[in-house]
Structure 1
Amino acid sequence: MPPTGTAPRPPQLDLDLLEPVDEPIDDEIDLYRNHLTGSYVGVAGRGEIATVYADGADFTGTKFEPLDVSDVRIERSDLAGARWEGVSARRLEIADSRLVGWRLIATFAEDVLITGSRWDNGGLYVRRAKGSIVFRDCTFAGTTLRGDLSGFVFDNCDLAGAEFGADAARKCDLRGSRLEGARGLATLRGALISSDQAIALADVLAAELGFTIS
């Protein structure tokens, strides 16, 4: 059964109005109506990224805290080893990007879509979410997924090796994704899984709940 829920609202971008960034980003980040394509490896700072399209940009090892993100699309980019904390994200899309080791700590998230990306050995914590939060065709091996995951959609994702630590997970839609090998499934109370997934995970769930199978 396909995941439920509505699609996230996309970023409001007019690519013809975006200006290239010709100078390095300093620790007071103020990006507005920009097109990013360069290298920002190791940049550390705080501020705002709004109405921005990043295509092929390198954010490896960046450290942002706090950061307000709105109407941003990131494609074919690298966020490996980055750490973004205190993030408020509205209308954020990330596609076909390398997110290995990316740690995202979001105080608020609304209308987020992440597709076709490898988010292994990283971490996600969401304190509060609104609208649609959708992950599609992503991998999460070795990644921790914590906080309020209520209403999140994992569509055709590989969650083997992921570790859940949900504070809430009501109607978190996991149908169609691979869950074998994931840990912390007992924290996903109220989540949606298929009957086939339930059968495949019976032993794991029993062990996490402390049952003895004999």
Structure 2
Amino acid sequence: MIRAPRSPSRPCATSSIRDVRRPSFDLDDLVAAEFAFRGEFDEEELLVESGEFSGAGGRGTLARSLVRSADLSESRMSPLELADVRFEDVDLSNASWQAVKLRQAEIVRSRAIGFRLSIASADDVRVDGCRWDYAAIHVEGVKGALVFTTESDSRRSMPGPYRAACGRRGGTRSHPAAGNAPPAPGEDVVRSGREPRRGRGEWLG
């Protein structure tokens, strides 16, 4: 089920996954230091692998880092700022991340069943090949692009459409009914123009 305000009268430019800036970090510069996603943190250039962080609670900033094969199920994060960060093969089941700011961030091939995600702002964010059963996503603002790429088989990464509806100058998912060319097959795109936009949208699994 989708709950969103009425779409604006002016459609926004279309986008595709090719337009999204990728997280910028050098794998050789990342440090495999102890990091637990607990308490207050302000870290950068970390390599977090195969960690058990189930039920962790924290708040803070993580930048220019790679998190992969980690268990973040039932974690609680608020507020959280992620810049140039990639999450890969991560378990986010039944986690709750609120007041999240994302800039050049990716979540790929991850398990997000029951994940509750509230995005305060998104600037070039890609979510690819994840399981979103019973999940809920709330988007407050988009600058740049927010792209959800579905799986090619019958089990979609987002079961059902996603749409963000915005204010007078906000961005929406590209849709042919709004006068735009459709996004690439398997992509749900929230795209803004050159200037920062404010938008609101909610997707419920």
Do both share a fold (TM > 0.5)? yes
Query: Could you say which residue in structure 2 is the equivalent of 1:92?
Result: 105
| Alignment pair present for 1:67 and 2:80 | yes
Report matched runs for 1:119-138 at 5 Å.
119-138=132-151
| Alignment pair present for 1:24 and 2:25 | no
Q: Shift in Å at residue 15 of structure 1?
A: 0.6
Q: How many residues align?
A: 163
TM-score under structure 2 length normalisation: 0.69
Query: Could you say which residue in structure 1 is the equivalent of 2:20?
Result: 8
Q: Shift in Å at residue 26 of structure 1?
A: 2.6
Of Structure 1 and Structure 2, the greater helix share is in 1
Q: RMSD over aligned Cα, in angstroms? A: 2.8
TM-score under structure 1 length normalisation: 0.66
Report matched runs for 1:50-199 at 5 Å.
50-138=63-151, 160-161=159-160, 166-167=165-166, 171-173=172-174, 190=178
Partners of 1:122 and 1:91 in 2: CA distance: 22
Letter in 1 for 2:24: Q
Larger Rg: 1
Partners of 1:61 and 1:87 in 2: CA distance: 16
Q: Report if aligned partners of 1:119, 1:138 keep a CA contact under 8 Å in 2.
A: no
Partners of 2:103 and 2:92 in 1: CA distance: 18
Letter in 2 for 1:119: W
Identity of aligned residues (%): 30
Q: Report if aligned partners of 2:38, 2:59 keep a CA contact under 8 Å in 1.
A: no
Q: Shift in Å at residue 32 of structure 1?
A: 1.1
Query: Could you say which residue in structure 2 is the equivalent of 1:180?
Result: none
Secondary structure at the residue paired with 1:24? coil
Q: Shift in Å at residue 22 of structure 1?
A: 2.5
Structure 1 segments unaligned to the other structure (5+ residues): 140-155, 176-188, 195-214
Letter in 2 for 1:16: D
Structure 2 segments unaligned to the other structure (5+ residues): 1-13, 183-205
Higher relative contact order (CA 8 A, sep 6+): 2
Q: CA 1:39–1:83 in structure 2 vs 1: closer, same or farther (change >3 Å)?
A: same
